[in-house]
Amino acid sequence: MSPLEPGLYIVATPIGNLGDLSPRAADILSRADVIAVEDSRVTAGLLRHIGAKRPMVPYHDHNAEGVRPGLIARMATEAVALVSDAGTPLISDPGYKLVRDARAAGHAVVTIPGPCAAVAALTLAGLPTDRFLFLGFLPPKEKARADAIAEVAAVRATLVLYESGPRLGACLATLAAVLGDREAAVTREISKRFEEAVTGTLAMLADRYAEAPPKGEIVVVVAPPGEAPPASVEEGDAALAEALTRLPAAKAAGEVAKRLGLDRKALYARALAMKAGGSA
């Protein structure tokens, strides 16, 4: 078995079914000089599945600062593989600083793509996939969670986030309160025997899981916001009057038209009338 070239190898591992490990990933893990892992017990099981036994170094949020320099130094002469417990490393897992520092040191960085729970959930949810925003895990406390959701409420993209079973009901309730009753999906146990995707509105899903937290790895997918209702004449006038205190009529009309989705020519005529009447 020939040795790998020195450097960092980012290896995606199965999120459930071990058969999802790609032949290339298995080959890299079998030949790496050392594997940086979140939990050696989890990775040891994967190595047993492919009939390999390699040295492992724990690398996670709690020890990364201390372990990273040693891994970077080893990359000069050794092949260092990076895995998470499941899925693609760096996606809501530690690792980006290791990649950044490896590049800064001039080491080769190679990715071996594969399973990712966020992307797999999108394929199951039946919601728009042309634009999506991954939020990772939301804050556990209600106010912080609501604030984080409010920050992205207007983003015209499908939202994807991870959540634990015990917190799922509360998370869905907060999503419904902040975002309104959007369509959503709760996916769990992806690629495993009891894989499921439960769809409905956020309120329906919040009720379903309020007293019955599910087990397993959970991904929540939320539809983007619907089309906003057109602004009223009064809203247009108010915005135009404010813009005219800063801008000439043409630019004020353009700014308000873009922001509120109103007709620019009509706004320009209104702006001229407001200026002539001395109302702005």
- 79-119 tens-digit pLDDT: 999 999 999 999 988 789 999 999 999 999 999 999 999 99
* CA–CA gap between residue 4 and residue 32 (Å, rounded): 7
Residue with the two structure tokens 């009753």: 181
**Least confident window among 56-70, 147-161, 245-259:** 245-259
* Residue 174 pLDDT: 96
- Between β-strands 56-58 and 132-137, what pairing exists: parallel, antiparallel or unpaired? unpaired
Return the residue matching tokens 């290896």.
Answer: 11
CA distance 125 to 250: 45
What is the share, in percent, of the chain residues with pLDDT greater than 90? Answer: 82
> Within 10 A of 267 (CB to CB), how many other CB atoms are there?
24
* pLDDT tier, 262 (very low <50, low <70, confident <90, very high otherwise): confident
Q: What is the pLDDT of residue 227?
A: 64
Burial of 233 (0-12, 13-18, 19+ CB in 10 A): exposed
Mean pLDDT, to the nearest integer, of 43-69? 96
The percent of residues above 70 in pLDDT, for the chain, comes to: 98
In whole angstroms, what is the distance from residue 48 CA to residue 168 CA? 33
- Predicted local confidence at residue 228, as pLDDT: 60
Q: Tell me the pairing of strands 132-137 and 158-163.
A: parallel
Please check the confidence at residue 205 and state whether its pLDDT lies above 70: yes
Sorted by sequence, the CB contacts under 8 Å of residue 207 that are 6+ apart come out as none
Residue 201 confidence (pLDDT) above 70: yes
pLDDT of residue 280: 46
The answer for residues whose C-beta is within 8 angstroms of residue 176's C-beta and 6 or more apart is 201, 202, 203, 206
pLDDT tens figures, 27-40: 999 999 999 999 99
Q: Are 56 and 40 in contact (CB under 8 A)?
A: yes
Of 75, 87, 76, the C-alpha closest to 25 is: 87
Mean pLDDT of 255-269: 87
- Has this prediction a pTM greater than 0.85? no
Average of pLDDT values for 199-225? 95
